[in-house]
Structure 1
Amino acid sequence: MEAGLFTANNVWMMVCTALVFFMHTGFGFLEIGLTRQKNTINILFKNIFIITGGLLLYYAFGFNLMYPGFEEGSSGILKFAGFGIGAPENGMTPDYATGGYTWWTDFLFQGMFAATAATIVSGAVAERIKIGSFMIFVIFYVGLVYPIVGAWKWGGGFLDSWGFYDFAGSTLVHSVGGWAALVAIALLGSRIGKFGSDGKPKAIPGHSIPMATAGVLILWLGWFGFNGGSVLSADPALTSLVLVTTSLAAAAGGFGAFLLSTVLYKNMDLTMFLNGILGGLVGITAGADLMSPNEAVVIGFIAGLIIVLGVSFIDKLKLDDPVGAVTVHLICGIWGTLAVGILGDKAGFDQFLTQLFGVLIIGAFCVISSGIILGVLKAVMGLRVSKKEELEGLDIHEHGMDAYPDFRTNEH
């Protein structure tokens, strides 16, 4: 391979790494925008911990747990290649990863992905989880659960040998976070005031919809790195296709959610519009490289419809998800993964069954593992803050500070 092409590939992958890193700004803005100002510091603290702790955990053992190098004939379930990271002899040459990038770029790009799964959980449990319990959960979930699941496909494990396909993580990233979010909100219970005495959900407005909107636009931009980088090189044809399908699905997802929510609720709900965009992005992530533009629009539009119906369904179950994380990342992640067997270059009944089995196996593993981690934490140290702390705000009680000290209110 020419040195110029190798350099161009690696530079593109580093740009994508930066874009995925920037997505954490989007997650932070979205979460604080859709929640109350008295919990802003708490949410931002969790997000910063996820990035820093996640990267260190991935360095310490996550990367070698996710890419252990399964031998031929191995079960492809679990293997550990050792603590720490060190570049192999060909790690800085075109012989590594077929010239798409270097070993160090590989580690950093994958490390940015690792933290995303826990960030998904952060939004779902906002405004009522103990910060210490959440941090311990992140250590186990990002450090162990995420890389083990990732190894099953991206690390050459048994799902990869079955033919399961997940281009950039509709299941391996988004539903891994979504399953844990679902378990967590079930164990935590709803926020005070979310459900009235009649059992009907009550709106708890976020304190900054402009901030939430900025967060979604940043996430859309970051998805160019999330999906574009998953090409694993700067291949012009495939990279440009992936960016087109990604954007079209996002636009169609927003449009689908906007239309259905307007028809059902007779108002143009911006938060539904925003989550529809995210649903479209999650939905296309599993097959962004396999779909035509037309198929991307279909996948995104259906994901937008799922957002509106899914949010309503979660409310009917009396589960409290302040940012809609379960619907966006879990339900739309499942849809996008199954869509690989319905539309695109790999469509077929056998592929659909493979996708379905992959979703079910990963779902079961994530529910059981997150249930054990969170269940032990609940029994040993508790998951939820006190009523007084929840009403007065986690910022003051957990962190001793206000995000907006000049605008302190008595919001409850």
Structure 2
Amino acid sequence: MTLEALSSGLDTIWVVLTAAMILLMEGGFALLEAGFVRQKNAVSIIMKVFVDIAFGALMFYTVGFGLMYGKDSGGVIGTSGFLLGGDLSHIKLSISHETYWLFQCAFVIAVISIVSGAVAERINFRAYILYTILMTAFIYPIAGHWVWSVGGWLAGFGMIDFAGSAVIHALGGFSALAAAMLIGPRIGKYGADGSANIVPPSNLPLASVGAFILWFGWFGFNSGSTLSATNGSIGHIAVTTMLAAASGSAACILFTMLRYRKADPPMVINGALAGLVGITAGCAFVSDIAAILIGVVCGIAMVFATEFLDSKRIDDPVGAFAVHGVSGSIGTLAVGLFAMPDLTQSVGRGYAGLLYGGGWSLLGVQALGLAVCCLWGFAVTWFGCKAINKLTPLRVSRDEELVGLDVGIHGVPAYSNEDGFLELGSLKTEPK
């Protein structure tokens, strides 16, 4: 066996393992969202996660990968690679195209899962399937081509987004915001005077386990984006990922103790995730201290963003926009401030952030790319959901929402006991 073949084999194992870690994050999304929503909607969360994986993988294989990584056409879309066929000679990696597709497929599944939480407890299941197809076949792949593909126009400008603070999280977060605004708040979430009513999570221990699984999977998300088992930056990426998550959670613990007189558990959970989202763009290119600072800013900004949405009567049950949209934006811009030239040499640029003598150039490019990704996700989701609503109602009926989507849509409750039974064909449960 040649040294080249051995290196390729190691890289393949690394990428497949980290892809599996990212796919495991779907279990984290499922537990996190099921714990944050009410008990009567837990099954609906699980069903949406299966839609994410099943339809997301099929659509990305059929259409999405070609649009994202196919041979470039004008810097806008790919024109080959559909069904993993056609000319993919421009993708020059030590791993096979199939292995590369698997890793990127895990990413696309994560994107749609961000939107899932923002529309929890009231979206029509059929409408969600159609939106999943739209996101995984079109919205995300097009934006991904602009930033990550050979020939993409934002890549040509020099935008840096190592593992997707903009392409995945900001885009997903602003898509989630559009969907949440369009579908409207849950029944009873806001009072007539505009005040927000607390909807208690059904199971915070379950949500926390989900967050821990997401935290674990994020090491695959970020470190795996090296696409090489022999890349010397893997350790540094893992350290910055850990520090940002820890500082995001710590900041939320201290800040909510000051603001609410109590450490707020849902905020603390989301604080860790906010730190993870924020470091995703620059995990390979910023120092450890910068990673801590990014985590702190993202954790505190997430609290304010959550409060802001409530003040505008925008119902986001799991904080998808605050965690992904806001923190993804902060992390993308942070690269323009904290990128170290000796670390960005790994992407062939050697760009420096504003605080490292690089001037405003990189920060300007990051801001442009961020704005484009956010506007693209928000606009296409907004008009896409309006179109979907003409095909099938975007929102469930009032009766289905009140009884819960588990029984109303899927015909089975998440939890049962010996004292009751489900009346088939009905929207209600009856005691014995």
TM-score by length of 2: 0.90
Partner SS state of residue 284, structure 2 = coil
Question: Where do 1:361-372 residues align within 5 Å?
Answer: 361-372=372-383
User: What's 1:146 paired with?
Assistant: 140
User: What's 1:116 paired with?
Assistant: 110
What CA distance in whole angstroms lies between the structure 1 residues aligned with 2:36 and 2:368? 34
User: What's 1:128 paired with?
Assistant: 122
State the 1:78 CA deviation. Answer: 2.0
* Larger CA deviation: 232-241 vs 138-147: 232-241
Aligned residue among 95, 98, 105 for 2:99? 105
User: What's 1:81 paired with?
Assistant: 80
State the 1:86 CA deviation. Answer: 4.0
Aligned residue among 206, 209, 214 for 1:214? 209
State the 1:276 CA deviation. Answer: 0.3
What CA distance in whole angstroms lies between the structure 2 residues aligned with 1:89 and 1:387? 49
User: What's 1:17 paired with?
Assistant: 19
What CA distance in whole angstroms lies between the structure 1 residues aligned with 2:339 and 2:149? 24
Amino acid of the structure 2 residue aligned with 1:301: V
User: What's 2:298 paired with?
Assistant: 303
What CA distance in whole angstroms lies between the structure 1 residues aligned with 2:178 and 2:88? 43
- Give unmatched runs, 5+ long, in structure 1: none
Q: Is the 8 A contact 1:59 1:85 kept in 2?
A: yes
Q: Is the 8 A contact 2:71 2:88 kept in 1?
A: no
- Structure 2 residue 374 is the aligned partner of structure 1 residue 375: no
Q: Is the 8 A contact 1:295 1:344 kept in 2?
A: no
State the 1:231 CA deviation. Answer: 1.0
Q: Label 1:89 to 1:300 Cα distance change in 2 as closer, same or farther (>3 A).
A: closer
What CA distance in whole angstroms lies between the structure 2 residues aligned with 1:324 and 1:89? 38
Amino acid of the structure 2 residue aligned with 1:361: V
Amino acid of the structure 1 residue aligned with 2:51: F
State the number of aligned residues: 403
Aligned residue among 382, 389, 398 for 2:409? 398
User: What's 2:38 paired with?
Assistant: 36
Amino-acid identity (%): 38
Q: Label 1:107 to 1:260 Cα distance change in 2 as closer, same or farther (>3 A).
A: same
User: What's 2:329 paired with?
Assistant: 334
User: What's 2:168 paired with?
Assistant: 173
- Structure 2 residue 358 is the aligned partner of structure 1 residue 347: no
Partner SS state of residue 336, structure 2 = coil
Q: Label 1:149 to 1:90 Cα distance change in 2 as closer, same or farther (>3 A).
A: closer
Question: Where do 1:233-244 residues align within 5 Å?
Answer: 233-244=228-239
Q: Label 1:118 to 1:151 Cα distance change in 2 as closer, same or farther (>3 A).
A: same
Cα offsets for 1:306-360 (capped at 9, x unmatched)? 1111111111111000000000000100000000001121303111110111111
Q: Is the 8 A contact 2:70 2:87 kept in 1?
A: no
Partner SS state of residue 237, structure 1 = coil
User: What's 2:343 paired with?
Assistant: none
User: What's 2:61 paired with?
Assistant: 59
Amino acid of the structure 2 residue aligned with 1:384: R
What CA distance in whole angstroms lies between the structure 1 residues aligned with 2:21 and 2:145? 23
Amino acid of the structure 1 residue aligned with 2:248: G
TM-score by length of 1: 0.94
State the 1:30 CA deviation. Answer: 0.3
- Give unmatched runs, 5+ long, in structure 2: 341-351, 355-359, 422-427
Q: Is the 8 A contact 1:87 1:104 kept in 2?
A: no
Amino acid of the structure 2 residue aligned with 1:155: S
* Larger CA deviation: 328-337 vs 173-182: 173-182
Q: Is the 8 A contact 1:120 1:177 kept in 2?
A: yes
Q: Is the 8 A contact 2:80 2:87 kept in 1?
A: no
Q: Is the 8 A contact 1:279 1:300 kept in 2?
A: yes
What CA distance in whole angstroms lies between the structure 2 residues aligned with 1:179 and 1:30? 20
Cα offsets for 1:58-99 (capped at 9, x unmatched)? 1111111100122xxx520123215311497989xxxx7442
Partner SS state of residue 378, structure 2 = helix
Aligned residue among 258, 262, 269 for 2:264? 269
State the 1:268 CA deviation. Answer: 1.1
Amino acid of the structure 2 residue aligned with 1:297: I
Q: Is the 8 A contact 2:143 2:167 kept in 1?
A: yes
Q: Label 1:89 to 1:396 Cα distance change in 2 as closer, same or farther (>3 A).
A: closer
What CA distance in whole angstroms lies between the structure 2 residues aligned with 1:202 and 1:378? 28
Amino acid of the structure 1 residue aligned with 2:25: M
CA-based RMSD: 1.9
